[in-house]
Structure 1
Amino acid sequence: MPNDSLWRRLRGWVGSGRTERATTPPARANAGSAQVADSLRALLDDPGIPASVRSELAADFSRVEQMLDKLQRGELHVAVFGRVSAGKSALGNALLGREAFAVGVLHGTTTDAEHAMLDEAQHDGLVLIDTPGINELDGEAREKLAFEVAEVSDLVIFVCDGDLTREELDALKSLAATQRPLLLALNKADRYGRDELDGLLEHLRLRVAGLVRAEDVLAVAAHPAPQRVVEVDARGHEQQREQARTPDVAALRERLLAIAAREGKTLSAINAGLYAGRLTDQVSARIAETRKAVAAKLIHHYCIAKGVAVALNPIPVADLLAAAGLDAAMVVQLSRVYGLPLTRAESGRLVAVISAQLAALMGAIWGMQLVASALKGVSAGLSVVVTAAAQGALGWYATVLIGRAAERYLVGGKSWGEAGAKRAVADIVASLDRDSILREAREEILKRLKSRRG
């Protein structure tokens, strides 16, 4: 659901205010559409989007391509909503002047979005989109589809055939929240007398006040009931027959054409811009998730390498120096994952900063590691394995902390933020379960050490 302030900013950028319905200057509307089109192309052509993310969001990228084509053609897409049997498909056909959409009395007639150019207004680029009924048998799935169609439509016609039910009013409120202009079409107007119809229209305008403008609540008869005609033959015999009546949708058609002519390009550009913004957010989130998953695997790989290396190195204390080199190599790899490459020297300095903060926070742990390193050289038998595994587990834990802290620094754009390195590293330490990490590390290292001894 688009943020209202964002909608207003975009309206100010590419067109006039929605509530005023003023005419957008053609030059301004064209310039706004061109800027939105450039943004869509930049999103589609962005080389920084991984292939895996493009594949995962393929349907969304395809929709952006369709929106770009729509902008270039100057089309205005209009979604037709309503409950089953209110006459959505029939209204679409009446506006088109041909049987473009399936019409039936059973639930489930409309199961997918269908598109057709509005015959009598092709030069204005109106496209009607029929949608599933909001109370179809397979309700949740089809209602979800209907609201997805609303996201890529520039204007919505909500069709009813009498006073609004609670279900219809709730759906109308949800649609209004999408910030699309709404028209309410009271269908089957031929069933009412003039006074009754006027009263019902006034009642509907009161019920939807704040959701639909009063002048956008209109009466239509998409498929009026046949008129009974009595004819008298030459011999004076009366015969009755039914005569089909033409649809009465002129007022609605005129309203659509007026909106298309007045602010069609503005609405189309705004909708495309909002959708592209949502997709950009999704892409950023997916890239962040992908990077985080790759980074987690990378850190785990270096944890194993460092833990085993520290455990196997027979030279006291020297293994800690070798481990620092592994940490620096890990940070270099992490910087590439996040698209902010660091040199080996830069990586070493970052590891030094993180290690200094860790030493200040956890001096006792690093002291234990130094003792364990020294003990390895004078222990024998199984005690060597156990001691080595304990020291390797501490090395593993240190790599987790350094990796997570470096990741925090890179996600921040090579910055610790206003709080600085001390607070960032402290937050990382506090967020991790040290005991579970050490337990996992000891088990993994012991398994590998015993395998090597065997």
Structure 2
Amino acid sequence: MPSFWDRVRGFASRARTPPSSSPPSPATADGVARSLRDLLDDPSIPADVRTSLADDFARIEAMLARIENGELHVAVFGRVSAGKSALGNALLRRGAFTVGVLHGTTTDANPARLDEAAHDGLVLIDTPGINELGGEEREHLAFEVAEVSDLVVFVADGDLTREERDALRTLAETRRPLIVALNKIDRYTDDEREGLLERLREHTKGLVRPEDVIGVAALPSPKVFVEVDERGREVRHERAMPADVRALRERLLAIAEREGKALSSVNAGLFAGRLTDQVSERIATARRDLAGRLIRQYCIAKGVAVALNPVPVADLLVAAGLDAAMVVQLSRVYGLPLTRSESGRLVAVISAQLAALMGAIWGMQLAASALKGLSGGLSIVVTAAAQGALGWYATVLIGRAAERYLVAGKSWGEYGAKRAVADIVASLDRDSILREAREEILKRLKTRHA
């Protein structure tokens, strides 16, 4: 049965495939939804990994609901005071989002369904301003929301600043469709407005389609007019003006109708792909940590066993048995179980390569084994610790080489066992390993003799 990351790794490419009249496939919205459900329900994901990525799995749940409900999520993004919240309210034709004159009015991401497009499931998400002073967390939240939305409306109220251009480039890297809304167009004359829209199209070339740079007036300034009363006195009045967001609303509705489900599917696939990579890395890290602890346990067991065995050379046979048992356990950690005989053959291959590379070390170990039976008193402890340390070091090498073989799917790779084992030997600090081994073994030997 394929693992969960094998099943979802192709989400992004499959989701872009045009649907056809054939039965639903993983390329369709329904197919992606089924694949997301498989990811959520996959029993092969370790519980600790699932817990550490709980927020991301919750997002997958939300994306699944979005696809199943046919929703299109739109992040309203931009600089503080550009009018993001006001634009969202104008599109919704109600006060769904807080509008204020102070920086930082929006402190969280608040979704609300677009009334006119309820049948299309268009959902707006207001976000914090990207340039809030001291608001790095809010800016991070804004980028995070944009990443899991289906498209982004970037609100500006004039020509783009360097910060805004940088933010647009970052957003473009998320591969979300971008619409730039030039807000507060009521402040400009017709010629000024057209000139500013043209400059925005130039500055966003390659990031935003020209037709997706649109002028809006989310909260127009009141219009001042003068009336003459019955006594002939001039009286100034202010009249609230209606929002002008029709062009943007029609553009959003057109996108929702034409490609809403496709966008949701593609973006869910992209996010699932990133989650897959995170889960794979967490599992790989957990396996490496567990393998490291397992190898150390066998190093201690082998080092002490070799040091304590009073029979010359027989201690080496004990060591070989421990190495084979260690490799069996490592194979289970990496989900590629080996039998005891398979483990023994693998240890033999690694040991042969080590003997070819490090003949002198193995000669020292055999000599120490012979000397141990002829020594007495404290010399036995010292000699035993030295031999045990060499056994410890050999176990580290065998364990790491076996781990590399298992990580590669029971393969030594293109250059074979000789190169793989040589790389392991070169990557480890022999002196520090031997020093640690001697200290640990002496401590344990002294405890036993106390």
Normalised by the shorter chain, which TM-score bucket?
Answer: over 0.9
Match of 1:339 among 335, 341, 355: 335
Q: Please, which moves more after superposition, 224-233 or 178-187? A: 224-233
Alpha-carbon contact 1:14-1:29 (below 8 Å) kept: no
1:348 to partner: Cα distance: 1.1
How far, CA to CA, are the matches of 2:252 and 2:180 in structure 1?
12
Q: Which amino acid aligns with 1:258?
A: A
1:285 and 2:281 matched = yes
How far, CA to CA, are the matches of 1:432 and 1:174 in structure 2?
40
Question: Which residue of structure 2 lines up, in the alignment, with residue 128 of structure 1?
Answer: 124
Match of 2:403 among 397, 404, 407: 407
How far, CA to CA, are the matches of 2:21 and 2:236 in structure 1?
56
1:426 to partner: Cα distance: 1.0
1:241 to partner: Cα distance: 2.0
Alpha-carbon contact 2:15-2:27 (below 8 Å) kept: no
Give identity over the alignment, percent.
75
Question: Which residue of structure 2 lines up, in the alignment, with residue 196 of structure 1?
Answer: 192
1:123 match: secondary structure: coil
Q: Please, which moves more after superposition, 295-304 or 44-53? A: 44-53
Alpha-carbon contact 1:14-1:33 (below 8 Å) kept: no
Taking only aligned residues, the RMSD between alpha carbons, in angstroms, comes to: 1.9
Task: Describe the shift of the 1:418–1:118 C-alpha distance in structure 2 as closer, same or farther (beyond 3 A).
Answer: same
Question: Which residue of structure 1 lines up, in the alignment, with residue 168 of structure 2?
Answer: 172
Question: Which residue of structure 1 lines up, in the alignment, with residue 3 of structure 2?
Answer: none
Alpha-carbon contact 1:30-1:265 (below 8 Å) kept: no
1:231 to partner: Cα distance: 3.3
Task: Describe the shift of the 1:323–1:11 C-alpha distance in structure 2 as closer, same or farther (beyond 3 A).
Answer: closer
Q: Which amino acid aligns with 1:191?
A: R
Question: Which residue of structure 2 lines up, in the alignment, with residue 13 of structure 1?
Answer: 17
Alpha-carbon contact 1:185-1:219 (below 8 Å) kept: yes
Question: Which residue of structure 1 lines up, in the alignment, with residue 250 of structure 2?
Answer: 254
Alpha-carbon contact 2:224-2:239 (below 8 Å) kept: yes
1:214 to partner: Cα distance: 1.0
Task: Describe the shift of the 1:31–1:430 C-alpha distance in structure 2 as closer, same or farther (beyond 3 A).
Answer: closer
1:398 to partner: Cα distance: 0.6
Deviations 1:365-416 (A, max 9, x none): 1111111011110100111000000000000001001110110111011111
Alpha-carbon contact 1:80-1:92 (below 8 Å) kept: yes
Q: TM-score, normalised by structure 1?
A: 0.94
Query: 1:257-276 to 2 correspondence within 5 Å?
Result: 257-276=253-272
1:183 match: secondary structure: strand
Query: 1:312-323 to 2 correspondence within 5 Å?
Result: 312-323=308-319
1:290 match: secondary structure: helix
Query: 1:20-169 to 2 correspondence within 5 Å?
Result: 32-169=28-165
How far, CA to CA, are the matches of 2:11 and 2:42 in structure 1?
24
Match of 1:397 among 393, 416, 428: 393
How far, CA to CA, are the matches of 2:254 and 2:438 in structure 1?
74
Q: Which consecutive residues of structure 2, in runs of 5 or more, have no partner in the other structure?
A: 1-9
Q: Which consecutive residues of structure 1, in runs of 5 or more, have no partner in the other structure?
A: 1-5, 16-23
Alpha-carbon contact 2:70-2:121 (below 8 Å) kept: yes
Q: Please, which moves more after superposition, 354-363 or 368-377? A: 354-363
Task: Describe the shift of the 1:346–1:31 C-alpha distance in structure 2 as closer, same or farther (beyond 3 A).
Answer: closer
Question: Which residue of structure 1 lines up, in the alignment, with residue 206 of structure 2?
Answer: 210
How far, CA to CA, are the matches of 1:14 and 1:313 in structure 2?
70
How far, CA to CA, are the matches of 1:8 and 1:445 in structure 2?
53
Q: TM-score, normalised by structure 2?
A: 0.94
1:9 to partner: Cα distance: 3.9
Q: Please, which moves more after superposition, 172-181 or 6-15? A: 6-15
Alpha-carbon contact 1:29-1:266 (below 8 Å) kept: no
- How many residues align structurally? 441
